[in-house]
Amino acid sequence: MIATTFEAPASQSAQHGSRVALFVDGENLYGYSHSLGTPHDMHYEALLAYAARLGALEHSAIYLGAALPSDGLSRFMIALKHQGFTRVKMRLRRPLADGRQKSCCDMIITMEAWEAALSGRFDKVVFVTGDGDFVPVLERMAERGIEVHVIGPDRRSAPELLIASHTFTNASRVPGLIELHPATTDTAGAVPDTTRAA
């Protein structure tokens, strides 16, 4: 059975005692941010608030890619730490044969997420990504009894993420994450948010 949800899960007594880990694919979210085509602010602390509503947020990691280190990037990483992320990781992008650049963030996120699953420390995970490459690790986590929640970029998320997760939420539906200027929210054509019943 599939139901629809358009906002962060409410804090309920059933959620008390749950231990939550948050993994943010910063490169994927950055690409989505640049695709919006409307002046906006991205408030990353809203992801922390979303995850905290699921239980006790014990680990929150964000992974960034950059062409070169810079003072601006350093200030951004420090700001993320001050917002409450417990781990802020940056990897330099490497050039590909077709002229594009790619970092190794996907591999690092997968390894650290799987290590978290094996540790038994978390009951729930929140993944922020639209990248279908994470589907196998999300499926394995779900098989181990971990509740998997995904936040993905509108119209830029792999459909397989909806199947691999217990809930999928479009990034535009996360309260406070995206502040558009002017406020002209357009979610037409977005991937449907879904909660899959157990």
- pTM exceeding 0.85: no
Residues 139-142: contacts with CB within 8 Å, 24+ apart? 139/164, 140/114, 141/113, 141/114, 141/117, 142/166
Q: 30 with 103: CB under 8 angstroms?
A: no
- Is it true that domain 19-94+102-196 has CATH number 3.40.50.12240? no
pLDDT score recorded for residue 106: 86
pLDDT score recorded for residue 16: 60
pLDDT score recorded for residue 83: 95
Centre a 10 Å sphere on the Cβ of residue 39 and count the other Cβ atoms it contains: 9
Pairing of strands 19-25, 124-128: parallel
Domain ranges of the chain: 19-94+102-196
Spatial distance between the Cα atoms of 82 and 93, rounded to a whole number of angstroms = 25
pLDDT score recorded for residue 189: 47
Residues of the chain with pLDDT under 70: 1-16, 67-69, 93-104, 182-198
- Per residue in 76-116, pLDDT (tens digit) is 899 999 999 999 988 776 665 665 556 568 889 999 999 99
Strand order in the sheet with 56-66: 2-3, 194-196, 167-170, 147-152, 124-128, 19-25, 56-66, 87-92
pLDDT score recorded for residue 14: 40
- Asked whether the CA dihedral 52, 54, 57, 63 is positive or negative, the reply is negative
